[in-house]
Amino acid sequence: MTKPRVLIIGGGFGGLAAAQALGRRAVVTVVDRHNYQTFLPLLYQVSTAGLAADHVAYPIRGALRDIRGKFRLGAPISVDHKNKNVKLDSSEILDFDHLIIAMGSVTTDFGIPGVAEHALGMKTIQEALEIRAEVMRRFEDLCRFEDETRFSIAVVGGGPTGVEMAGALAELVRGPLRNDEEHAARHIDIILIEAGPRLLPMFDDSLSQKTKLALEKMGVKVLVNTAVKSVESRKILFADGSSTPSEVTIWAAGVKGNPDMEKLNVPIVGNRVDVEETLQVRHYPHIWAIGDIAGAKGENGKFLPMVAPVAMQQGRFVAEQIIRAEKSAPLKKFVYKDKGSMATIGRNKAVVQVRRIKFSGFLAWSAWLFLHLFYLMGGRNRIGTIADWFWNYLTFDRGNRHILDSIND
Amino acid sequence: MTKPRVLIIGGGFGGLAAAQALGRRAVVTVVDRHNYQTFLPLLYQVSTAGLAADHVAYPIRGALRDIRGKFRLGAPISVDHKNKNVKLDSSEILDFDHLIIAMGSVTTDFGIPGVAEHALGMKTIQEALEIRAEVMRRFEDLCRFEDETRFSIAVVGGGPTGVEMAGALAELVRGPLRNDEEHAARHIDIILIEAGPRLLPMFDDSLSQKTKLALEKMGVKVLVNTAVKSVESRKILFADGSSTPSEVTIWAAGVKGNPDMEKLNVPIVGNRVDVEETLQVRHYPHIWAIGDIAGAKGENGKFLPMVAPVAMQQGRFVAEQIIRAEKSAPLKKFVYKDKGSMATIGRNKAVVQVRRIKFSGFLAWSAWLFLHLFYLMGGRNRIGTIADWFWNYLTFDRGNRHILDSIND
C-alpha cells in the first residue's frame, strides 16, 4: 500500500501534533509562513523580558526530522479541490491525498475602532518584541523626564493571556525596573480591562476573585464590567463615556480563525472552518480542520476553546482518522478531554482548575511551571528556559530588557 | 570634594569599563542609542543560529546598578565646549566635567560601490538576525527547488570576524541544515574573500595557513589576493575582472570610527578622534576618547587595533586619569598590553597567539571558549550561553534557526 500524502497547512501545536502522530505512516508536508513554531503560551514572557525571544520558537524542520517530513515556507493562495492540490504563494503546487487545515487564529478587534492602529497584538514573536520595546522606551522616557509624568500600560482582555501579561508586567515594573530607576518605575501604571463581570470567566468564581486580589496587590488596576468603545493614540475610550490614558495598549481580548482559510474555499461557520464530528470539513471528506481554526463543538454545543490542548488532541485524532480512512475503517467522533485550565499570575502565584478540583498559590505555580516545560518542544529551549527562569527567580531580575524591534537598528 | 560629573557617550566595552572603573568616585552618565551592550565578538553565532539573540545583549542599566550610574537612551547631536554640555537627540542637555567619547565603530565599505545596498554588515543584533534570516530563506528556496540550483554565501574579509563567520556558516550548513534537508544543504557554497595574501594577517603565517586548510577542509572556498571591485545584487565583481555569484554577501572587511563623532566637534585624524598619549582629545583636556573611535597609537606608530581588549584597557585607564586630574596629579601615558589574539574556526578548532607562543586545535578552542564566557557580562547570559553551547556541542545541532527579521512578521 502506498503511503497517503498528507499536506498540513500550519506548523503550530495542532499541525505538528498531527505530523508527529502520522509519523512515517504517511508522506507528510507541513506548510507555514514561519520556519518555526511559536510557543504562544510563553510569548508574554518575551514581552516582559523574562525569556529570550529565540527560546519560545522552535524550528519546524527540527520537529519533522524523525518522521522524515517535508516543510515548505509560505502560505496557501488557492486550492484545486478536483485535482487535490494547493498552490502556495511561492507558486509551488503541492498534491495531497489528505489536507489538514491547521492555520490557527489571529487577533480580533471585534470591530472596535482604533485597535489595529493603536494596540499591539500578542500572537507573534515580532509583536512580543514590539511590546517589550515600547514598554522599555516609555520607561526610558520617564527616566529622562525625572518629574511627575505618569505612563499607563493597558492590557485589554481578562482571560488567561491578559491576566498573565498584566501580572508579568507588574513584576517587571516593580522588580527590575524599580532597581534600574526607582522614581521612573513608580510612575508606571498597569491597567487590566475586562468587559465581563470577572477575570478568567472559564474558572470558578473563587479563583477569579483570588486572581483579581492578587493582581491588585501587585499594583495592577483591574477594571471589570468595562467595555472598550475605541482605542486612540495614548487613550482608551469606554462604552460608558469614561476613558483612561494608555501609552501602550496591549490587545489580549480575543482571537478568531485565521481569515487566510478563505483561500482554501471551504465552508466557514462563525469565523471557523465548518467540520463534522470527525473533524472532516463538511462536504470535503479528504480535508480536515484542527485547532483554533476548526469549528468543532463540545458537549455543550459551543465551539471548543482556542487553546493548545484542543489543537494537540485534534492533531493526534485526525492522524489516526486518516490512517483509518486509508484502510476504509469507520471513522470516530472527536471528543475533547478537558485536562483543566491554568493561569499564572506571578512569582509563586497561579490558579489551576481541573474539573471540580481547584487550587492556587505556590502549588498551582509549580504545576504551571512543570507543564510548560514539559510541553516546550526541544531540549535546547527547555534548558535555555530553565536557565532564564532559574536566574529570574533567584535574582528577581529580568535580563532580556533589550529594545530590539524593527524600528531600532 | 564634589564628585566630578563624567558623561560617557557609548555603552560598549570601553564605555562600560570606564563607568565601572570610575564606580562611585564620580557621577557617571552613560548615553547609548541602544539600551543594551552588544557582545560583538559573539554576534556571528547569532547569525549562524548558535546563540539566542537576546543572549549577546546585556542591559546597560544592569551594568550601572552597582555604581549608581545614570543612563540615557539616545545619541548626541551637538556639544557646547564653553559651557561643557552635550545635547542629545531627545533635546535633553547633559552637563559634564569630563566627557568620554566611546562611540565605537561602524562598518566601512572603503568606497567600494554596492556594499551599502547589497551586503549585510556585522555590527548590530538586527544585522545578525538579518543574516540569519537571509541564509535560512535561501535554504528554504533550495528546499523548494529540489534541483541543481546552487546558492553562494560570500564573506568578505579574512580577519578574525570573517574567519569565524565563514567557519560557523560551514558548520551550520554541513551540520543542522544537512540534517534538515541534505540535497539543499549540499547546494550551498560558502566563499571567504580576502584582499591580502593570507587570512588572519595579524597572526603568525603558520597559523594563517592552518586556518586556511581547516576552513577548506570544512568546505569553505578561500580566495586570497582577491580584491572586491564592486558588489551587485547576487554577484561580486573582483579587481581582476572575474566575479563570483553571491546571493548573500556578508561584509566583514573592516570598520571605521563612528562618524557621529563629528557632532561632538573634536579634532579627527584618519576617521578617529585625535588623542594625546594620555587619551585626552587634542586641545580638549576634559574630553577623552577610548576604544575603536580613539586614534591612539601603539609602539609601532600605528593605530591600535579596534578590538575589545584595547577599549576595556583604555576605559579603565581613562577612569584613573580622570581621578588623577581631579586631584591635579600628573597624568600617565596609555600603553596597550597585548594579551594576544585568538580566532575560532569551528568545533574544537581555533588559533591562539600570545607574543611568541602560538597554538591551535582543541586547546586553543577551549581557551577561546573560556575567555568569551569570562568576558560575557552578567550571569544570565553566561548561563544561557553555556546552555546553548552545551546543547549545540552535544547534538551537533543549532536550535536558533528562526527567520526572525523585520521583513517577516
HEC-encoded secondary structure of B366-395: HHHHHHHHHHCCCHHHHHHHHHHHHHHHHH
Burial of B67 (0-12, 13-18, 19+ CB in 10 A): middle
Read off the C-alpha cell for B392: 549545540
> What confidence score (pLDDT) does residue B317 get?
98
| Whether pLDDT at B396 is above 90 | no
Asked if residue A240 and residue A140 are part of one domain, the reply reads yes
Instruction: Give the relative orientation of helices B308-326 and B13-22 as an angle to the nearest 10 degrees.
Output: 30
Cβ B383 vs Cβ A393: under 8 Å: no
Give B-chain residues touching A400 at CB under 8 angstroms: 54, 57
Asked if residue B288 and residue B362 are part of one domain, the reply reads no
| Whether pLDDT at B78 is above 50 | yes
Average pLDDT over residues A308-333: 97
Q: Which of A30, A56, A61 to mutate to test the interface with B (most CBs of B within 10 A)?
A: A61
| Whether pLDDT at B203 is above 80 | yes
Asked if residue A103 and residue A28 are part of one domain, the reply reads yes
Return the CATH number at B248.
3.50.50.100
> What confidence score (pLDDT) does residue A371 get?
81
Asked if residue A277 and residue A166 are part of one domain, the reply reads no
Sign of CA dihedral A45, A47, A52, A56: positive
DSSP state of A49: T
Q: Strand pairing of A70-73 and A57-59? A: unpaired
Domain extent for B313: 5-33+74-107+256-326
Whether residue A49 lies inside any domain: the answer is no
Q: Mind listing the pLDDT tens digit for each residue in B242-285? A: 999 999 999 999 999 999 999 999 999 999 999 999 999 999 99
Measured between alpha carbons, how far is A85 from A99 in angstroms, rounded to an integer? 9
Measured between alpha carbons, how far is B8 from B30 in angstroms, rounded to an integer? 5
> What confidence score (pLDDT) does residue A375 get?
67
Pure H helices in A41-181: 43-47, 60-64, 115-118, 125-145, 160-172, 178-180
Whether residue B62 lies inside any domain: the answer is no
Whether residue A29 lies inside any domain: the answer is yes
Q: Mind listing the pLDDT tens digit for each residue in A189-220? A: 999 999 999 999 999 999 999 999 999 999 99
Please give the ipTM for the structure prediction: 0.92
Query: How many alpha carbons fall within 13 Å on the CB side of residue A105?
Result: 27
Q: Mind listing the pLDDT tens digit for each residue in B86-123? A: 999 999 999 999 999 999 999 999 999 999 999 999 99
Asked if residue A287 and residue A144 are part of one domain, the reply reads no
Catalytic residue among A127, A164, A194, A247: A164
Q: Which residues are CB-contacts of A124 (< 8 A; sequence separation ≥ 6)?
A: A38, A43, B409
**Interface contacts (A, B; CB < 8 Å):** 160
pLDDT-based confidence at residue B345 (cuts at 50, 70, 90): very high
Final residue of a structural domain among B297, B326, B355: B326
Final residue of a structural domain among A326, A357, A372: A326
Asked if residue B233 and residue B283 are part of one domain, the reply reads no
Residue-level length of chain B? 409
Give B-chain residues touching A405 at CB under 8 angstroms: 406
Whether residue A40 lies inside any domain: the answer is no
B73 vs A386 pLDDT, higher one = B73
* B124 SS3 class: coil
A355 vs A148 pLDDT, higher one = A148
Measured between alpha carbons, how far is A228 from A108 in angstroms, rounded to an integer? 13
Average pLDDT over residues A281-298: 97
Measured between alpha carbons, how far is A79 from A96 in angstroms, rounded to an integer? 11
Catalytic residue among B164, B171, B194, B247: B164
Give A-chain residues touching B90 at CB under 8 angstroms: 144
* Record: contact A379-B395, CB cut-off 8 A: yes
Asked if residue A185 and residue A206 are part of one domain, the reply reads yes
> What confidence score (pLDDT) does residue B11 get?
97
The CA angle A222-A226-A232, to the nearest 5 degrees, is: 95
How is the beta sheet containing A235-238 ordered, strand by strand? Answer: A228-232, A235-238, A243-245
Asked if residue B391 and residue B264 are part of one domain, the reply reads no
* Record: contact B403-A61, CB cut-off 8 A: no
Cβ A228 vs Cβ A195: under 8 Å: yes
Asked if residue B239 and residue B318 are part of one domain, the reply reads no
Measured between alpha carbons, how far is B266 from B257 in angstroms, rounded to an integer? 13
Q: In which element (H, E) is residue A152 found?
A: strand A151-156
Measured between alpha carbons, how far is B313 from B325 in angstroms, rounded to an integer? 18
Measured between alpha carbons, how far is B252 from B156 in angstroms, rounded to an integer? 5
Whether residue A247 lies inside any domain: the answer is yes
Asked if residue B351 and residue B247 are part of one domain, the reply reads yes
Measured between alpha carbons, how far is B236 from B80 in angstroms, rounded to an integer? 45
> What confidence score (pLDDT) does residue A407 get?
44
Whether residue A28 lies inside any domain: the answer is yes
Q: Which residues are CB-contacts of A395 (< 8 A; sequence separation ≥ 6)?
A: B379, B380
Pure H helices in B146-273: 160-172, 178-180, 182-185, 205-217
Whether residue A60 lies inside any domain: the answer is no
How is the beta sheet containing A70-73 ordered, strand by strand? Answer: A70-73, A27-32, A5-9, A98-101, A284-289, A280-281
Cβ A21 vs Cβ A43: under 8 Å: no
Final residue of a structural domain among A326, A361, A384: A326
Of B132, B130, B218, B142, nearest to B180 (Cα)? B142
Q: How many domains does chain B have?
A: 2
Return the CATH number at A269.
3.50.50.60
> What confidence score (pLDDT) does residue A408 get?
42
Give A-chain residues touching B126 at CB under 8 angstroms: 404, 406, 408-409
Mind telling me how many Å the CA of B180 is from chain A's nearest CA?
Answer: 6
Whether residue A409 lies inside any domain: the answer is no
Find the closest chain A residue to B176 by CA distance: A62
Asked if residue B271 and residue B203 are part of one domain, the reply reads no
Asked if residue A183 and residue A158 are part of one domain, the reply reads yes
How is the beta sheet containing B280-281 ordered, strand by strand? Answer: B70-73, B27-32, B5-9, B98-101, B284-289, B280-281
Is B276 in the active site? no
Average pLDDT over residues B341-352: 91
The CA angle B187-B405-B311, to the nearest 5 degrees, is: 100
Average model confidence (pLDDT) across chain A: 93
* Record: contact A380-B387, CB cut-off 8 A: yes
